Each structure stands twice: as structure tokens, then as C-alpha cells.
Chain A
Amino acid sequence: MSRKQLDHTLLALAALVAFGLPLVVTSPTYLQILILLFFYAYLTTAWNLVGGFAGVLPLGHAVFVGIGAYTSSILTLQYGVSPWIGMLVGGLIAALVGVVIGLPTFRMRGAYFCLCTIAFAEGIRVMIENIDALGPLRINGPRGLLIPLKDASFWHYQFMSKEPYYYIILTLLILVLALTWFISRSKIGYYLAAGGEEPEAAAALGINVANCKLLSMALSCFLTALAGTFYAQLMLYFYPKGLMGLDLSFEIAFIALIGGRGAIAGPVIGALVLRPLNEFTRIYLSDMLPGLHLVIFGLILILVMLYKPQGLTAPLAALYDRLARKITVPGDAR
């Protein structure tokens, strides 16, 4: 078969396995683990739209998860709006906040943008932790929001079992991966790549680099907020430190960086490898030394950046390439 056929077959197989998994794995505990795995893979892929494609480093992205969660939850709790609609509203607000942060900083050095994302993420989180109510909106400060059980239904975005959640996050993940793939092949993708590599040359070719970055930022923040609503509806409880903290922001960024931030599959592969690793080290090492798994995680990042700054996906892709060449017929090679 040709290389293209091989790629497509493997992709189809992976999709089949992913969709069929709940038929085999029935324990809610394991389903929950898979759901969270896909949740992280989704977040890192959405992050990649800015971090990989636009060539800047957002280090406070968890704040958009929080914006999504808070928006949809407040709208549900106090105004009875369906979380699906609240999700879209949250996405729009997140996109707006992202644009406000990006507008002044995309014209400057990358470091400014990084630090501003951290500064504003922490600023917003601290403010939410200190506010009980903002006018008529009940925010509840550090205690977070609790969503009461309603009748399980699609409209209420609540379900009795784990399977629907599994399929929702899987669908979201596939959508965001498809979007990423599509963008990389489109005008905006080419423009972002050019602007990231040689901004002056890109400008001379008609590219308004800052605007392109703003577009990818808005998109990324929107998508990230959608995951916030998903999390709120999955867990039915969240609080600022857990959902909007730097820990989550850094974890998202680090996973994408270790996986490979330019590649489409990089963040997903990073999530598939690192999330289990993190959980594993946390469970087995935390009794002795709490926080050791985080130190290890940080050290992995430093080591990967020192020796393979493009991420781990690049050597893996090269390996796949070599193997694929052995078993496929050249011809339709591109």
C-alpha cells in the first residue's frame, strides 16, 4: 500500500479504538482516567494554536479554563441557562480577554507576552478568590462553585454515567485536532509560521503578524474555555486555585513543549505519555516526598529543552517514517 494509505488506515484504526473503548472498559474509575487524559490532550492541543503556531508562549492558559467554567456555571446556577449556551458565552469572554492581553504584547518581545499571561492569570485568579459577589453574580471566592445534580439530560449537560462524558471530550479532541490540521495547511497557518520565523520578511510579504497572532490567540482561548465548562459539568465542583492556578497552566504548557509544540500530534502524544507518568509518580512517590513528582516533571522539561528542544514527537516521527518506508510502496509519497 502507499504511504498515504498507511497513514489513513492507522488513523482510522486509532479512531475506532478510541470510540470503541467504553465497550471494553466499563469501570467508571478507568473511564474517568481516560476522560481526564483526553481533557488534557484537548487543552494542550488548543494551547498549541498559540504556543506552537504563533510562536509565543502563553503561560497562564488555565485562566481561560476558569473563565469558561465560571461563566457557564453562573449562568446555569443563577439564570437557568443551559450549560451548552453558557459554554459558548464563556468561550467568547475568554477570547475577548485573550485579545486584550495580546493586543499590546504581540507587538513586543515574546517575553512580554509570556509574563503578561502569567501576570493576568494570577491577577484574575486572586481577584476571584477574594470576591464573594460581583453585583448580582455570586462568585463565592476561594470556595468555588458547586453545581447541584439535576435530571440527567443532554440539555442540562449532566449524565448519570461516564460514557456520554467520554464521547463528548473525545469528539471535542478530534474536532480540535482536525481544526489544527486544517489551519496548518491554510493561509493563516502559513502566515503564522512565516511570522514566527522571520517577522520582518513576513511583513514585507504583506503579513500583519500581530493580527495573525491575535486571531490564533482568540481561537485558542475560546476553545480552552469550552473545556472549562466540560470540567465543571463533569466534576460538578471547582475552585479557583485548582482550576485556574499556575500549576495547571504550566502543566499544559510543559506537556505541549515536551511533546513538541510545532507538530499537530505533539501535544497529544505529550499528554498520552506525561499524564500517566505524572499520575504514576504522584501515587507512588508522594507518600515519601510530596511534590517530588512535580520536581521530576520540571527536570524532564529542562532536559528535553536542553537536548531536544523540538520536543519528543520529532524523533518519534522520524522513527515512524523509517518504519513506514520499509513497508510501503513509494509513489504517492507526499
Chain B
Amino acid sequence: MSNILEISNLTKHFGGLTAVSSLDLHIAQGEILALIGPNGAGKSTVFNLVAGVYAPSEGTIRFKDREIHGQKPWDLCRMGLARTFQIVKPFAGKTVLYNVMVGAFLHTGSTHKAREKAEEVLATLALDHLRDNPAGNLTIADRKRLEIAKALATNPDLLLLDEVMAGLRPTEVDDMIAIIKGLRDRGVTVFVIEHIMRAVMALSDRVVVIQFGQKIAEGAPQDVTQDENVIKAYLGGEYGAA
């Protein structure tokens, strides 16, 4: 199994609106793939389809060679697919450690083991100095890290990161890039949605560009950003000739 995620002909209609149309996409194990596109292109819908929030109208999604469309998010998590949310959802009334332990409980019934695992994850993400702080009191950058920590504690094979860079300052973006690269080194395949091009260029092995729910380009970051169609999509027709 070299492709951990395979999407074929994925289509999603919301009433009269087609949010995703005949999308083909694959991610090899150990890759970092970025999904980019102008606002409203359908990127979050793709994530939600993969993560089990929506069921596809047409097409198939295969995760680790198993068809997964229609499965519930909690079953997918148990299979090794974790995600973060664009608008972070910490358990604000609880401590940072509690938050990550919730994720860590996935593979154990013992509170002790869950705590150990959570502390290990917090150390990886340099959050352990905040372990007893209420999650609601964290800065936005720390909240984004916490979001990743929670998902990481479930020992995923594939991690979906939804615009984790949004709202971060440049130094924070650099830190986050290092963290995500570190995830890959730990054996996690990463699928990101990102708007911040610097991060996309620095992180991804491959980039897929979608617009109006359809794929318009795919390839290495440098190639994709020079692609005529991509430039047109982001900047409008006049900039197409390059």
C-alpha cells in the first residue's frame, strides 16, 4: 500500500450547488500534500468528505485501501485518520493536559497510560509548560498547537490540517512549519489546506489546486505556482500570460 488516501471521481452536491466535482486525488504514505485554491473553491468540503462529516454524492474515498465514504468521524479516527478544525475547538473549560488526554484515550482504557501519552505529545509540541492552564486562556498560536496535539494523541496515520497557519505571525508560521515537518519524520502522512504560500512552498512535496470544486493543477510546488491556470484562478484573467 503506497497510497494512504485515494480519492476517485469525488462529487458533492448541496442542493443545486456542486461544491466538489469529479475530483481525483491521491496521497502517498509519508507525503505532505497541500490542497490550495481561491476562497470558496471547495477545499474544506473535501476535508469534510474525507473526515466523514459529509457523505459523497458520487465517487469513492479509499483510506488504507478500504472504502470509507459514509463512515462516521469517530470510526475514521479509530482507523487512523485524524483532523483539526479551521476554527479551533478546544475543550475550553479543561486544562491543556485534559484536552490532549481525551485524544490519548483512543487506544487505551487506563487513565495513567493516557496521561503518559498526553505528556509525551505535549513535549513534542513544546506545550508542556502550559499543561495545567485552562485551554480557553491560550493564545491563538498555542491553541493551534493544542489542536494538533489533540489529534496527534490519537496516533493517526493520516492527519488532516485545516488552515493551521491562519492568524499566526511570521515567526509562529516558521515554528509551525518545523512542527509539521517533525510530524512527517514521526511517520504521519500530512494533508494540509493552506492559504499562506510561504508555508505551502516550504512544506509540501506536492500541491493540488482546485477551483469551483474541480482540480485545475497538480504537481511540485514550484511548477504549480507557475501554472497559467492557477495564476488566472487566483489573480484573474489579465495575469494569465506568463
Contact = CB atoms under 8 A, between A and B. Distances in A.
Q: Do A and B belong to a common assembly?
A: yes
Nearest to A197: B91
B94 A191 contact: no
B74 A203 contact: yes
Q: Which of under 10, 10 to 19, 20 to 34, or 35 or more describes the interface residues of A?
A: 10 to 19
A194 B72 contact: no
Interface string A195-207: 0011011111111
Interface residues of B, number: 29
B73 interface: yes
A19 interface: no
Contact of B94 (A187, A193, A204): A193
A200 B85 contact: yes
A150 interface: no
A204 B114 contact: no
A190 B98 contact: yes
A28 to B, nearest CB: 44
A207 B82 CA distance: 12
B235 interface: no
B105 interface: yes
B150 A187 contact: no
B102 A205 contact: yes
A187 B72 contact: no
A206 B89 contact: no
A78 interface: no
A201 B150 contact: yes
A206 B98 CA distance: 15
A204 B73 contact: yes
Given A197-B91, A197-B92, A208-B72, A202 B77 contact: no
Leading 8 A-B pairs by shortest Cβ distance:
A206-B77, A201-B89, A203-B73, A206-B106, A198-B89, A194-B102, A187-B105, A208-B74
Interface of B: 51, 72-74, 77-78, 82-83, 85, 89-94, 98, 101-103, 105-106, 108-109, 111, 114, 150-151, 153-154
